[in-house]
Amino acid sequence: MATKKVKEQARKVLKDIFGYDEFRPMQEEIICTLLDGKDAFVLMPTGGGKSLCYQIPSIMREGTGIVVSPLISLMKDQVDALTRCGVKAAYYNSSLKSAESKIILEKFEAGALDLLYVAPERLLTKTFLARLEKIKISLFAIDEAHCVSQWGHDFRPEYVRLGELRNIMPDIPMIALTATADEHTREDIAGRLALTKAKRFISSFDRPNIRYLVSEKRQPLTQVLQFLEDWKGASGIIYCLSRKRVEDMAVNLQRHGIRSAAYHAGMPGRSREKVQDDFLRDRINVIVATIAFGMGVDKPNVRFVIHHDLPKSIESYYQETGRAGRDGMESEALLLYGSGDVNLVRRLIENVENIDQRRVEVHKLNSMVALSEALTCRRRVLLGYFSEEREEDCGNCDVCLDPPETYDASGLAEIVLQCVREAKGDFAIGYIVDILRGSKNARILSNKHERLKTHGHDKTINVDEWMSILRQLVHQGFFTQDVSRRGALTITKKGRMLLREKTQVTLAKYQPGIKRKLKRFTQGRNEALFKKLVVVREQLAEQEDASPHTLFSDVTLTEMSQMSEVTDQALLRLSGMGKHKFEAYADVFRPILERYARDKAAAKGSNSGQALKLMAKGPRPTDVQSHTWALYRKGQGLDAIGIALGLSEKTVLNHYISLVRAAYHIDVPSLVGDFETVMQELDDADPYSSLSQLKQDLSVDLSNEMFRLVLAWREAIGVN
């Protein structure tokens, strides 16, 4: 077990080098596991902070951390970001010239590197493996570990041999990391990498900052252009299935004045590299691409992802939409869904020679269709696919924002459950629908299922309606689908409970086509100052020949735009502002922030408002607290925020308290009835009274949370 001292050292590295005050969920435990010399298997969503889980142990442990990465672009991007934080990192791949490779290997052999990023095919050469045995290695990190698995959506043969590392160097801790892996893929990864005894860390798949939207594909170009109206100047990715569609869309966007470019595997390598580099450096806003683009591209400020065509699987959809909002800020994912795309993908799958692989891909496509046609909360469907149950609707997807009509389907749900139970076999949704509709096809007659009580229960309900009912029951957790048994339905504990207790089941009425309103939210920041800071960042990046986000993320610039005081301490509190970056860039940004504060104060007079007077007393807000802040900035009240985020009023008030302590301006006086009386009584109170006594002596009745909010506000504006 890592000692208290080791944990303190890890936190010091987190703050001093990377500029963060707190670890995200699971990060500290994963880091301590590796520091103890043990293996770890990490399933964490894109943007969840996977990289820090191996970067910090590599810095702290003796030797060099070897990071296996599938893409050259990812290696370069991560190394650039690390070196700007003062970390000794390098990459070793085919993009290096002979002289450059020699220098990197010399540093590696001299023990002068904290991390070395290597492609799997280069790592597993006899020469490199022999070199590893002579050098002190701190750990092995296998990034994008789903590439190991035949069940994964991006299987790569060169990854399979990575399991040899455990035989060659059994005492070196190994960590496998992925953002997308269902149950079968997880087991396959653990087996192939010999990580069956590794401690598993399964984080939530939820990305609450991404709004999921699905719209029926009608006039795709018009729909895309209308969507982009709300994201002028923002970075985004548009995915298309074919190269021709990619090129046509890119040309059309350019004709409409949108800085965009095409990207697909048919382009020359240098052209692809230039497009990707231009995108990373914000020279173009929108990439139109096939799935050849994006895996491992570390661009945190992608604000939207559009799927012009249907992805082949939920894993692909999840990974591709996960490229939006890696910085935790509000983002959107739009899917244009049409039946023609389904048929196109089915034809592509039919060309797969391996029968087992074809079966897996058919199941994954059917699951993707179910998500697209879902009449229940998209997020619940998405998370349910990865075996993560969510009790409440998210309030941040198209179905929640524009809910369909619902009805009591308890009787139908019981019939479906009885049918699956009576069938007693490995039968998928389509077959169960055939039974319920009274089909007498050869398979049903062969299984003698025309004799079941539920056979032909209701022939008036058409196939699409029955399919919708069964899919919703899967989404709500009454069944699971087993890909290893051809998508067979299995009744869950929740389903068995329904049969016993006859509880109510509410489903959405089936409606042909998908008609959803696309609503927009705004970022909670000072836009005028933020834009000035972005320009400065771009100028610095050009001078240093770097991607802007490797200097500072949009989160850091957003926090800068909200600063209430411009001091060294306040700058060091910014998310992502480590000591190395502070020394390099603080003097560039400080004059801009000071001038803006002076101009704002002068414009408003001597009483420039409480927002400029607030003093930060606490840590930066968490992701959920930042979401609360964004909704508050849009004018939503306690009740509306609670409903949108699925939180109680008490929890929202606790978020307000944390935000006020972090110098975010909440208009507390407007929340408290008879506020002046409360303030006067607190001013007159005995300074030695306990907090409970102070609250008890007030003539105005306040909840505990509201009372703590008032005290936090008084402290933030400097009232003792």
Statement to judge: residues 464 and 412 lie in one domain? yes
Query: What is the C-alpha to C-alpha distance for residues 538 and 533, in angstroms, rounded to an integer?
Result: 9
Least confident of 80-89, 148-157, 663-672: 148-157
Statement to judge: residues 119 and 73 lie in one domain? yes
Which residues touch 329 (CB under 8 Å, ≥6 apart)? Answer: 209, 301, 303, 523, 554, 555, 558, 626
Answer whether residue 46 is part of any domain.
yes
Answer whether residue 519 is part of any domain.
no
Domain CATH code at residue 469: 1.10.10.10
The DSSP bridge partners found for residue 64 are 137
Least confident of 251-265, 323-337, 384-398: 384-398
Query: What is the C-alpha to C-alpha distance for residues 472 and 494, in angstroms, rounded to an integer?
Result: 14
> Hunting for tokens 């039946």 — which residue is that?
339
Statement to judge: residues 163 and 256 lie in one domain? no
Query: What is the C-alpha to C-alpha distance for residues 392 and 414, in angstroms, rounded to an integer?
Result: 22
Statement to judge: residues 191 and 112 lie in one domain? yes
- The pLDDT tens digits for 267-294 are 988 898 899 889 988 999 999 998 766 6
Statement to judge: residues 385 and 496 lie in one domain? no
- The pLDDT tens digits for 108-159 are 999 999 999 998 888 888 888 888 888 999 999 998 888 887 655 556 667 7
Query: What is the C-alpha to C-alpha distance for residues 83 and 719, in angstroms, rounded to an integer?
Result: 43
Task: Answer yes or no: are the C-beta atoms of 577 and 19 closer than 8 Å.
Answer: yes
Statement to judge: residues 16 and 95 lie in one domain? yes
Answer whether residue 515 is part of any domain.
no
- The pLDDT tens digits for 306-324 are 999 999 889 889 989 989 9
Q: Last residue of a domain, which of 153, 177, 202?
A: 202
Query: What is the C-alpha to C-alpha distance for residues 274 and 253, in angstroms, rounded to an integer?
Result: 19
Answer whether residue 476 is part of any domain.
yes
Statement to judge: residues 567 and 647 lie in one domain? no
Q: What is the pLDDT averaged over residues 323-341?
A: 86
- Quote the DSSP letter at residue 512: S
Q: For position 48, what pLDDT does the model report?
A: 77
Residues in the chain, how many? 720
Q: Last residue of a domain, which of 154, 185, 202?
A: 202
Q: Last residue of a domain, which of 549, 579, 608?
A: 608
Task: Answer yes or no: are the C-beta atoms of 207 and 45 closer than 8 Å.
Answer: yes
Answer whether residue 387 is part of any domain.
yes
Answer whether residue 518 is part of any domain.
no
Statement to judge: residues 357 and 415 lie in one domain? no
Whether 520 has a pLDDT exceeding 70, the answer reads no
Whether 92 has a pLDDT exceeding 80, the answer reads yes
Q: For position 309, what pLDDT does the model report?
A: 93
Higher pLDDT, 361 or 412: 412
> Hunting for tokens 């299984």 — which residue is that?
447
Residue type, 285: N
Q: What is the pLDDT averaged over residues 579-601?
A: 84
- Dihedral angle, C-alpha 302, 304, 307, 311, nearest 10 °: 60
Residue type, 400: C
Statement to judge: residues 231 and 166 lie in one domain? no
Query: What is the C-alpha to C-alpha distance for residues 4 and 10, in angstroms, rounded to an integer?
Result: 10
Domain count, the chain: 5
Answer whether residue 614 is part of any domain.
no
Q: What is the pLDDT averaged over residues 614-642?
A: 78
Q: What is the pLDDT averaged over residues 458-469?
A: 87
Range of the domain at 261: 210-401
Q: For position 352, what pLDDT does the model report?
A: 80
Whether 471 has a pLDDT exceeding 60, the answer reads yes
DSSP assignment string, 59-85: HHSSSEEEEE-S-HHHHHHHHHHHHHT
Report CA Rg, the chain.
28
- The pLDDT tens digits for 292-304 are 666 556 788 999 9
Answer whether residue 113 is part of any domain.
yes
Q: Pick from 239-248, 296-305, 395-404, 588-597 the range whose average pLDDT is largest.
A: 239-248
Number of C-beta neighbours around residue 195 at 10 A:
22
Domain CATH code at residue 270: 3.40.50.300
Higher pLDDT, 140 or 696: 140
Going by C-alpha positions, the residue among 94, 95, 131 that lies closest to residue 113 is 131
Statement to judge: residues 230 and 371 lie in one domain? yes
Domain CATH code at residue 697: 1.10.10
Going by C-alpha positions, the residue among 337, 415, 419, 417 that lies closest to residue 374 is 337
pTM to 2 decimal places: 0.64
Query: What is the C-alpha to C-alpha distance for residues 214 and 218, in angstroms, rounded to an integer?
Result: 12
Statement to judge: residues 316 and 443 lie in one domain? no
Task: Answer yes or no: are the C-beta atoms of 120 and 113 closer than 8 Å.
Answer: no
- The pLDDT tens digits for 203-236 are 888 898 999 999 877 788 988 998 998 898 899 9
- Tell me what the pLDDT averaged over the chain comes to: 85
Q: What is the pLDDT averaged over residues 379-388?
A: 88
Statement to judge: residues 420 and 395 lie in one domain? no
